[in-house]
Amino acid sequence: MSSTGEADRYPELVQAFIAYMEVEKGYSPATTRSYGTDLDQFDTFLRTRRRSLDHPERVSKDLVRAFLADLHRRAVTKSTMARKLSSLRSFFRFLLKNDLLQKDPTTGVRNPKQEKHHPKALNVDQALALMEAAIPPDPEGLRDLALAELLYGSGLRISEAVSVDVFDIDSGMVRVLGKGSKERIVPVSDKCEQRVRAWLAQRHAFDPDPEEQALFLGVRGKRLNRREANRALARLASVAGIPRDVHPHMLRHSFATHLLEAGADLRSVQELLGHERLTTTQRYTHLNLQKIMEIYDKAHPRAEESDHKNK
Catalytic residue among 179, 226, 235, 308, which? 179
Same domain, 75 and 134: no
Greatest C-alpha distance within the chain: 67
Which residues have a Cβ under 8 Å from the Cβ of 234 and sit 6 or more positions away?
Answer: 245, 246, 247
Same domain, 12 and 75: yes
Whether 179 is catalytic: yes
pLDDT bin (cut points 50, 70, 90) of residue 256 is: confident
Whether 143 is catalytic: no
Count of domains in the chain? 2
**CATH code, domain with 253:** 1.10.443.10
**CATH code, domain with 9:** 1.10.150
- pLDDT tens digits, 188-211: 988 999 999 999 999 999 999 999
Same domain, 150 and 83: no
Catalytic residue among 223, 249, 267, 308, which? 249
Whether 275 is catalytic: yes
Same domain, 223 and 131: yes
CA 174 – CA 276 distance, rounded (Å): 19
pLDDT of residue 260: 74
Residue 282: pLDDT above 60? no
Residue 49: pLDDT above 70? yes
pLDDT of residue 11: 85
Whether 157 is catalytic: yes
Same domain, 261 and 304: yes
Q: Three-class SS of residue 11?
A: coil
CA 207 – CA 115 distance, rounded (Å): 46
Other C-beta atoms within 10 Å of 234: how many? Answer: 15
User: 8 or 209: whose pLDDT is higher?
Assistant: 209
pLDDT of residue 118: 57
Same domain, 163 and 297: yes
CA 81 – CA 61 distance, rounded (Å): 16
Residue that is last in its domain, among 44, 78, 97:
97
pLDDT of residue 299: 72
Residue that is last in its domain, among 97, 114, 142:
97
Same domain, 239 and 90: no
Enclosing domain of residue 62? 4-97
Whether 35 is catalytic: no
Same domain, 93 and 146: no
Catalytic residue among 9, 284, 291, 298, which? 284
pTM over the 0.85 mark: no
Same domain, 151 and 86: no
Q: Is 231 within the bounds of a domain?
A: yes
Q: Is 62 within the bounds of a domain?
A: yes
Find the range with the poorest average confidence among 139-148, 211-220, 282-291: 282-291
Mean pLDDT of all residues in 240-269? 82
pLDDT of residue 286: 36
Residue 298: pLDDT above 90? no
Same domain, 133 and 43: no
Q: Is 115 within the bounds of a domain?
A: no
- pLDDT tens digits, 63-86: 999 999 999 999 998 889 999 999
Catalytic residue among 143, 191, 203, 252, which? 252
Same domain, 8 and 131: no
Q: Is 119 within the bounds of a domain?
A: no
Give the CA radius of gyration of the chain: 22
Catalytic residue among 93, 157, 223, 267, which? 157
Q: Three-class SS of residue 185?
A: strand
Same domain, 154 and 303: yes
Question: Chain-wide mean pLDDT for the chain?
Answer: 84
**CA distance to 28, 100, 127, 199, per residue, from 149 (Å):** 25, 49, 10, 12
- What is 273-298 written as a DSSP string? HT-S-SSTTPPP----HHHHHHHHHH
CA 208 – CA 84 distance, rounded (Å): 39
pLDDT of residue 309: 45
Residue 281: pLDDT above 90? no
